[in-house]
Structure 1
Amino acid sequence: MSCHDASPGAATTTLDAPLVVLVGNPNVGKSTLFNALTGARQRVVNAPGTTVELQSGTWRPGGAAARGEVRLVDLPGAYSLVARTPDEQVTADVVAGGAALGRPDLAVVLVEAGALARSLYLLGQVARLGLRVVVGLTMVDVARSRGVDVDVDALADRLGVPVVAVHPRSGRGTDALADVVLATLRDADADADADAGRVRLPGTVDPVPVDPVPVDPAPDEVEALFAWVDDLVRAVGGVAPAGVRTWSDRLDRVLLHPVAGIPVLLAVMWLLFQLATAAAAPLMDAVDGFVTGTLADGVTTGLDTVHAPAWLTGLLVDGVLAGVGTVAAFVPLMALMFVAVAVLEDCGYLARAAFVADRAMRAIGLDGRAMLPFVVGFGCNLPALAATRTLPHARQRLMVGLLVPWTSCPARLTVYVLLSSIFFPGHAGTAIFLMYVASVALVVLGGLLLRVTLFRDLRREPLVLALPAYQRPRLRALALSTWTRVLSFLTKAGQVVVVTLTLVWVALAVPVVGGHAVGDVPVADSLYGRAAEAVAPVLAPAGFGDWHASAALVTGFVAKEVAVGALAQAYAVDEPDDPAAAGDLGDRLRATFEESSGGHAAAAAAAFMVFVLAYTPCLATVAEQWRLFGARWTLGCVGAQLAVAWLLAVAVFRVGALL
């Protein structure tokens, strides 16, 4: 796998460049250090054959003139190379040289000064595989606040490899780290058998031949490693004195309290929801207005000037540019949510929130860290999928990513308001509330079903977290991380959205009967309308087997908020400014549902609302699932959503018709 620069016009790292991997426990500062070393020269990739995300980029230690470029990969956090999760398995495979990346030339193992024992055990496992190592000692200041003052020189002398105190958040120590990495690589090139970067292991622990997957150490070797770690920690001053309490400890007495911590958690989740809805909406509208308004008008004027045919103008403006506008409108939302989640993670609160929410999430076999994506999902499913990266294991991220589309986002609310105001005018609020109750039920029941079928391997384990110290977020690191992830969305998921919306325009523009020009055809006489007619009989058992309804559902696959406009377009009436005052559209829709349901219009409307809740949320969400989890899981998820939506809609209609 080559590491390509994510920034336009930047250099490309080739496979000939040395491969350096960052290894360490979760929350030890790897990602922050990675951002500091690579800057904008990075991208998000998936480990081959997995849903595990890796950060891959270009590092120029000492400047390009000193050594050229280094391929730097930030591996998933791991406590051990005897893998218990897919994330740890990826780390173990890469360290052992059995992954597609190839065998690393060097591992920069980050060791937390305040948690030496946990970090040094992982270091011993990496060294056992014969990999050359440089040690980065992190969080030295936090350790000192707890009375732990690690002797860096003594640690380096006992290990036999360079040890550098680094501060990833401020960048202090990164130049010294670059110097020792270059020196170790240089010495290794000069003499392949040299001891440069070779950790001095205890005498009973011998390096093993490198296998594609590291072998489990024998019990006596494990015991020897633990004894070695314990001796090292005591020798270099890594033992914390008893009775030391910091302001972080005092704050945790409130934030982790089983009663006081809940209101704080709810307040933070409410702020995230507001960010995904009220704060993001004006920005999204502004971007969409510029692209589909100002920019579209300029393109139209330019095409008219050169007398371009009407179909070409429609293709470029209503097809391609509309797709670009849809993608661009999501950028402010994605950026806001990436920043918000990164702030919570960087400051240390996210781990505390997971602890407080853990009991509630246990109901569906997940731990408390799953709370964040589900809460964000009720604001928008797209950033909720991105928020799954805060979960520690790939299988958990996948399971949550499959459930998130059933959290009812505000785009669906427009459809709920329209139908409830038409068919349940005296109980519209109750009908809408029940849709949100049904959304929560779908998530819970879907999670329970997945736990006993596709995700039986997810073990129910107590939540064990190493709570990171509270820290002030660093703006530069946040900006780099946000830029990289937004760019990854634009270049991958964005392409799918633009292409699909262009194809939708083509289907709407191509007539299937004579007498119409391309791009100027009623929906009923277009390829799109005929496709809707073909789908309609499938929906007949649910009481809304009419092409107007099926056309709205097909359009809703692109974006739920345009489903109301699609209904108005299908009936050739004006779209209501307020869905609660449906006007002519309400009259047409009531008449259609009366006919298609055999006189049970209210039951058909309830079934339609349930179908809108349960089936695929929007094209952008599907594209993001594809980017994160791959084609197989995404297509399977879409198929399952459609099947569940149909079954629930039929059940609701049949029961409603009886009542």
Structure 2
Amino acid sequence: MLYDAAPAERPDRVIVVVDATAVARGLNLAFQLAELPCRLSIALTKLDVAQDQGLRVDADALARATGIPVVCVDGRRREGLERLRETVQVSLTEEPQVRREDASIDARFADLDAATKAAVHTESQPVTRSQRLDAVALHPVAGPLLFLAVMWLVFQITTTVAAPLQDGLEALVSGPISDAARHLLKAVGLHHPLVEGLIVDGLIGGVGMVLTFAPLMALMFLCLAVLEDSGYMARAAVVTDRLMRAIGLPGKAFIPIVVGFGCNVPAIAATRVLGSPRHRIMTSLLIPFTSCSARLVVFVMLAQTFFPAHAGSVVFALYVVSIALLVLVGLALRKTLWRAVPQDPLVIDLPTYQLPTVRLALSVMWTRLKGFLHTAGGIIVSTVVVIWLLMTIPVGAATSVDGGYTTPAPQESAYGAVSRTIAPVFAPAGFDSWSLAGPLVTGFVAKEALISTWSQTYAVKDVTDATPEEQAASSLSDRVRADFAAASGGHTNAAVWAYMLFLLAYTPCVATLAAQKREIGWRWTLFGFAVQLTTAWVLAVVVFQLLRLL
């Protein structure tokens, strides 16, 4: 591929990085490049690891056997880089030479074998640190337990450690930044409710939503980079391969799926660890069926309101249903869309365990975070602005006047009109009230917004951040209970279960769609959106119709 380009676009020098623990594999690429008019240098790495494995690699002998300059480097300690740079500079004055012309595969491997024998010497075969660790990490029993512990730790980091950072950013945006924007608008004579709402509630609110995801994304990318650099990611793939193979996915897919129970957005971004495009697409389609922490806020509120004596069991049951949905949809996709695709055996290189490099982990994290903010950020901000517009545009009688601008009540806004339009769709599921259907629209932006939307709709105190007990005893809970009872014709509990299952199965949030669009494109994103909505509606209807008979 390097030399398919025009001559002016070809590289002046190619550096082949050769792992000292697998010299033959690196030399195979070097010998293929040597058949081209290409200036070559070999950077020989991991000499310390090779020594631990009882291997001694003679760099001078390797250079003589290959005819290519060889420089020993240690990228982690940044040793040998200056000498490599000098070697490259010197070689730029030389004319590239073709070492062999139309060399056969047999001839190439004969030269490769000769060079390896000349440069690599086996001194002993000690039991290495990696082998001792693999005795636990790849053990049939201990391996899965270790994997669950590691994933639990990642889950805790992404949901617990990021929480105060997210709260701090949200408070910063909704507090000082929004206040400063209001003062600035007033100073320049643009203190009109419509302008202020668009800029503060729409644009700044949208940017704030993007920023609140940044700590979560950063921590997730950092954790994945550390696992990859340490060498454990490959072991995790081996441990989970059999489990994931049942639904047509490799073992590596289990990692982003587990992450999805914390937040779907970084989980979808984490599908980049999968090598196959088909596996990335399928995993990205399944992740939205995992019950993220944002849904948990609503589940706890509803469980405490309607099932106070069994709230914990109700929430646990929803997580079990989440796993069952993921498996069933995965099997359906495998039996339909990808029925003819063969299952490849797991072929994976198990790298040596090593301490992760802080510089590399931070670099990988920052690169991936920038990509997310650049692509997904615009979609999120745009959607938040659209929701604000729907809540602002009056389509009926006004309820309050602010500075000459009429602020519509929620039910008299475009939001209310949309809610009344979609409400009949949920009649078979027992919640065709506009005030119950409407929050599903704002919940598309963020599931936590459901409680705030109810508070605005019923004109009561927002209890999103209250304790479960306070939520259950609030006037909001009374209004929600009355609404479900009226909409369901008295089958309140059946309607609540249907509502929670719909929340569980339909698209988590716009940020999830943005992440999917970035990873798998609009076509598959819209397909997944349709599958999630259909599954959610069918599940809600079936559950309500069955439970109302009991």
Fold conserved (TM > 0.5)?
A: yes
Shift of 1:322: 0.8
Q: Check conservation: 2:55, 2:124, Cα contact below 8 A.
A: no
Match of 1:277 among 159, 166, 172: 159
The answer as to 2:2 corresponding to 1:115 is: no
1:560 matched to which residue of 2? 447
Shift of 1:514: 5.2
Q: Check conservation: 2:53, 2:124, Cα contact below 8 A.
A: no
The answer as to 2:78 corresponding to 1:171 is: yes
Q: Give 1:250's aligned amino acid.
A: R
Shift of 1:182: 4.5
The answer as to 2:138 corresponding to 1:247 is: no
**Distance in 2 of aligned mates of 1:450 and 1:127:** 45
The answer as to 2:249 corresponding to 1:366 is: yes
Q: Structure 1 residues 624 and 181 mapped into 2: Cα distance closer, same or farther (>3 Å)? A: farther
Q: Check conservation: 2:53, 2:125, Cα contact below 8 A.
A: no
User: How do 1:162-241 residues align onto structure 2 when only pairs under 5 Å count?
Assistant: 162-184=69-91, 187=94, 194-195=96-97, 198=98, 200-201=99-100, 205-206=102-103, 221-237=104-120, 240-241=122-123
User: How do 1:542-621 residues align onto structure 2 when only pairs under 5 Å count?
Assistant: 542-576=429-463, 577-580=466-469, 581-582=471-472, 583-621=474-512
Could you list the per-position Cα deviations for residues 102-135 of structure 1 after superposition, in whole angstroms to 9, with x for gaps in the alignment? 7666543322111122333344455567665433
Identify, as 1 or 2, the structure richer in helix: 2
1:644 matched to which residue of 2? 535
| Number of matched pairs | 540
The answer as to 2:144 corresponding to 1:144 is: no
**Distance in 2 of aligned mates of 1:597 and 1:127:** 75
The answer as to 2:168 corresponding to 1:261 is: no
Q: Check conservation: 2:498, 2:543, Cα contact below 8 A.
A: yes
**Distance in 1 of aligned mates of 2:220 and 2:406:** 38
The answer as to 2:40 corresponding to 1:157 is: no
1:633 matched to which residue of 2? 524
Q: Check conservation: 1:378, 1:407, Cα contact below 8 A.
A: yes
Could you list the per-position Cα deviations for residues 596-627 of structure 1 after superposition, in whole angstroms to 9, with x for gaps in the alignment? 32332221111111111111111212112212
Q: Check conservation: 1:95, 1:131, Cα contact below 8 A.
A: no
The answer as to 2:272 corresponding to 1:389 is: yes
Q: Check conservation: 1:523, 1:570, Cα contact below 8 A.
A: yes
Q: Give 1:657's aligned amino acid.
A: R
Shift of 1:157: 3.1
Give secondary structure in 2 for the equivalent of 1:427.
helix
Shift of 1:586: 2.5
Q: Give 1:121's aligned amino acid.
A: N
TM-score for the superposition, normalised by structure 2: 0.91
Q: Check conservation: 1:411, 1:561, Cα contact below 8 A.
A: yes
Q: Check conservation: 1:408, 1:439, Cα contact below 8 A.
A: yes
**Distance in 2 of aligned mates of 1:399 and 1:553:** 25
**Distance in 2 of aligned mates of 1:130 and 1:654:** 73
Q: Check conservation: 1:395, 1:458, Cα contact below 8 A.
A: no
Q: Give 2:504's aligned amino acid.
A: L
1:534 matched to which residue of 2? 421
Q: Give 1:282's aligned amino acid.
A: P
Q: Give 1:252's aligned amino acid.
A: D
Shift of 1:293: 1.3
Q: Give 1:280's aligned amino acid.
A: A
Shift of 1:96: 6.3
**Distance in 2 of aligned mates of 1:256 and 1:230:** 32
Could you list the per-position Cα deviations for residues 33-72 of structure 1 after superposition, in whole angstroms to 9, with x for gaps in the alignment? xxxxxxxxxxxxxxxxxxxxxxxxxxxxxxxxxxxxxxxx
Give secondary structure in 1 for the equivalent of 2:27.
helix
Q: Structure 1 residues 97 and 532 mapped into 2: Cα distance closer, same or farther (>3 Å)? A: farther
1:31 matched to which residue of 2? none
Deviates more, 1:126-135 or 1:564-573: 126-135
**Distance in 2 of aligned mates of 1:280 and 1:356:** 28
2:291 matched to which residue of 1? 408
Give secondary structure in 1 for the equivalent of 2:77.
coil
**Distance in 1 of aligned mates of 2:11 and 2:415:** 52
TM-score for the superposition, normalised by structure 1: 0.77
Q: Check conservation: 2:396, 2:408, Cα contact below 8 A.
A: no
Give secondary structure in 2 for the equivalent of 1:153.
helix
**Distance in 2 of aligned mates of 1:240 and 1:648:** 62
1:398 matched to which residue of 2? 281
Q: Give 2:18's aligned amino acid.
A: V
Q: Structure 1 residues 313 and 132 mapped into 2: Cα distance closer, same or farther (>3 Å)? A: same
Q: Give 1:585's aligned amino acid.
A: L
Could you list the per-position Cα deviations for residues 339-375 of structure 1 after superposition, in whole angstroms to 9, with x for gaps in the alignment? 1111121122222222222232222222222222112
Q: Structure 1 residues 153 and 649 mapped into 2: Cα distance closer, same or farther (>3 Å)? A: same
**Distance in 2 of aligned mates of 1:402 and 1:392:** 16
Alignment RMSD (CA, Å):
2.6
User: How do 1:304-343 residues align onto structure 2 when only pairs under 5 Å count?
Assistant: 304-307=186-189, 308-343=191-226
**Distance in 1 of aligned mates of 2:539 and 2:479:** 25
Q: Give 1:593's aligned amino acid.
A: F
**Distance in 2 of aligned mates of 1:547 and 1:496:** 26
Match of 1:489 among 369, 372, 377: 372
**Distance in 2 of aligned mates of 1:105 and 1:339:** 34
**Distance in 2 of aligned mates of 1:176 and 1:456:** 53
Identity of aligned pairs, percent? 47
Shift of 1:527: 1.2
Q: Structure 1 residues 162 and 534 mapped into 2: Cα distance closer, same or farther (>3 Å)? A: farther
Q: Check conservation: 1:508, 1:526, Cα contact below 8 A.
A: yes
1:446 matched to which residue of 2? 329
Q: Check conservation: 1:543, 1:596, Cα contact below 8 A.
A: yes
2:410 matched to which residue of 1? 523
**Distance in 1 of aligned mates of 2:447 and 2:395:** 26
**Distance in 1 of aligned mates of 2:160 and 2:262:** 9
Give secondary structure in 1 for the equivalent of 2:489.
coil
The answer as to 2:265 corresponding to 1:378 is: no
Q: Check conservation: 1:568, 1:574, Cα contact below 8 A.
A: yes
Structure 1 unaligned blocks of 5 or more = 1-93, 189-193, 207-220
Deviates more, 1:538-547 or 1:449-458: 449-458
Q: Check conservation: 2:397, 2:408, Cα contact below 8 A.
A: no
Structure 2 unaligned blocks of 5 or more = none
The answer as to 2:351 corresponding to 1:471 is: no
Q: Give 2:53's aligned amino acid.
A: R
Shift of 1:501: 0.8
Q: Check conservation: 1:370, 1:388, Cα contact below 8 A.
A: yes
Shift of 1:462: 3.3
Q: Check conservation: 1:399, 1:455, Cα contact below 8 A.
A: no
Deviates more, 1:244-253 or 1:155-164: 155-164
Q: Check conservation: 2:295, 2:503, Cα contact below 8 A.
A: yes
**Distance in 2 of aligned mates of 1:98 and 1:419:** 61
**Distance in 1 of aligned mates of 2:72 and 2:131:** 25
Shift of 1:270: 1.2
Give secondary structure in 1 for the equivalent of 2:126.
coil
Shift of 1:306: 3.7
1:421 matched to which residue of 2? 304
Give secondary structure in 2 for the equivalent of 1:110.
strand
Q: Give 1:255's aligned amino acid.
A: A
Give secondary structure in 2 for the equivalent of 1:385.
helix
